[in-house]
Amino acid sequence: MKGTVFSVALNHRSQLDAWDQAFHQPPYQTPPKTPVWFIKPRNTHLANGGGDPVSGR
């Protein structure tokens, strides 16, 4: 999986708190017990030293 960028979601209490009500609804029924890992899509990658196309920095 060379070149694959992994990221973590729901690893901060404020994120869990914001989603708490939804986590108690189907299909989840309970909040996650650990952070959620995901693979970032290629279109979200920036080149090393490249600028941010949104902020221009």
pLDDT digits (tens, 9 = 90+) for 1-54: 677 888 888 888 898 899 999 999 999 899 888 888 999 887 777 777 777 777
User: Residue written as tokens 């952070």?
Assistant: 35
Q: Can you give the pLDDT at residue 57?
A: 67
Q: Can you give the pLDDT at residue 22?
A: 94
d(CA 20, CA 14): 10
Q: Is the pLDDT of residue 56 over 80?
A: no
Strands 36-39 and 6-9: antiparallel
Structure tokens given for 46: 């920036």
Q: What is the pTM of this model?
A: 0.51
Question: Residues 43, 13: contact at Cβ < 8 Å?
Answer: no
